[in-house]
Chain A
Amino acid sequence: MSAHASTKERISGILTFLLLAFAFGVVSQRIVKVGMGPLPLGPGQIAPQISAGYVDGGQFELSGYQGNIVVLDFWATWCPPCVAAFPELNRLAKKYDAVGVRFIGVNQEPNSLPKVKRFLRKRKITFPSIIDPGDIARTFGVVSFPTTMLVDHQGVLRAVHRGAVSSERIEQDIKRLLTMKDKGNP
């Protein structure tokens, strides 16, 4: 009886293991497809030439910002750390606007334009945001939000911060890039 029960338990245990293995098996193709895709961009690489519509109308072209330092902030309204970072980013955008540093928000909600507009107006965000039609984050290899990227005056990606980052850190990067720009070399 005991041996019989034990066999039943073993079979039941194996079936439980098989459930997990099958579950992993059916999604493994998806994991491999995403995981073996193009590697995320890192510092030193040329920023891809992207274009998208501004939230308030008009067309954004990254190539049009050559000569400026561009801070790309990938964000969404449903991302609490993104929202928390806005006041400081707004402050930095105002502070460094005169020296040619441009902050661009890259919103991740292409189907919620009115909501995004209301959100930005309510929080008095002064720097512009563009709506990612779905391929900008993928092109830059952004998978978590917020992600902040700094592109130098020559269009080269110089810093990538995944997740929440302090305004001091961003300011440090901006100063470094401004120095590089003033010296006229990377």
Chain B
Amino acid sequence: MIARIGGIFLRPSQTLFSILRGNGGTMFDLLPWILVLPCALSPNRAGQALLYLRSDVMDGLQIYVSLIVSKLSTPVGAAMVGALVLSVVSRIKLRNDSTSVAQLWTFDRCFDACMYMLIPFFAASSLGIILESMGIAFKFLPHRPIRGQGIYLSIRLILAFGWPLALYMYLLNSMWHSTQTLEEEQ
């Protein structure tokens, strides 16, 4: 798992195709980020969740879950939509290649791969938190809510989602030219 997470930075295509082939790598590998990163992004809210957990477990859990949803619903939602598009497009494009559709481009494997693509986003958010705590407020990083206008917003979006988007486009392209790519990969 550790190597796969590192692999997304060093050998992204091999790592993603390894996940698509079912050689390990699921969204559950990313649970530490899903459970911990929102707390690091919003320590006050996480503290409030802890406070309420002490008095009423359900209230505390509700705040904690709403914290996760508020911080991660956009990227995880995007991964879900991305996986859906990949699996649907593959069914249309590769309708004559039933093996590839059935084995590689199933929704669950596409979703696992798309979730792995978020690792650079998670890492950039973590880096932003660390830098800010050191007094270097690099506000282009995605640890702060992505808002703004024009070029500023574009830079922020690229820094937050540029890499995941590039990886996604790569996967989409690979699927579109499925035969050659799979032969190369295999």
Chain A interfacial positions (CB closer than 8 Å to B): 5-6, 8-17, 19-20, 22-24, 26-28, 30-37, 39-40, 42, 141, 143-144, 162
Contact = CB atoms under 8 A, between A and B. Distances in A.
Interface in B83-133: 119, 122-123, 125-127, 129-130, 133
Given A9-B4, A31-B43, A162-B59, A19 B130 contact: yes
Interface string B1-37: 1111111011100000000000000000000110011
B46 interface: yes
A184 B102 CA distance: 72
Contacts of B161: none
Contacts of B6: 8-16
B37 A23 contact: yes
A40 to B, nearest CB: 6
Given A23-B37, A26-B40, A35-B46, 7 more contacts: A9-B11, A13-B6, A17-B32, A33-B47, A34-B43, A36-B51, A42-B55
Given A20-B122, A20-B126, A35 B5 contact: no
B32 A20 contact: yes
A45 to B, nearest CB: 11
Contact of B9 (A12, A22, A36, A144): A12
Interface string B56-73: 100100010000000000
A40 B55 contact: yes
Contacts, number: 123
B186 interface: no
Contacts of B33: 20
A33 B54 CA distance: 13
A30 B11 CA distance: 37
Place the interface of chain B in its size category: 35 or more
Contacts of B52: 40, 143
Interface of B: 1-7, 9-11, 32-33, 36-37, 39-40, 43-56, 59, 63, 119, 122-123, 125-127, 129-130, 133
A140 to B, nearest CB: 13
Nearest to B60: A35
B51 A24 contact: no
Nearest to B55: A39
Contacts of A34: 43-44, 46-48, 50-51
A114 to B, nearest CB: 24
Contacts of B36: 20, 24
Contacts of B54: 35-36, 39
A28 B46 CA distance: 9
Contacts of A40: 51-52, 55
B51 A143 contact: yes
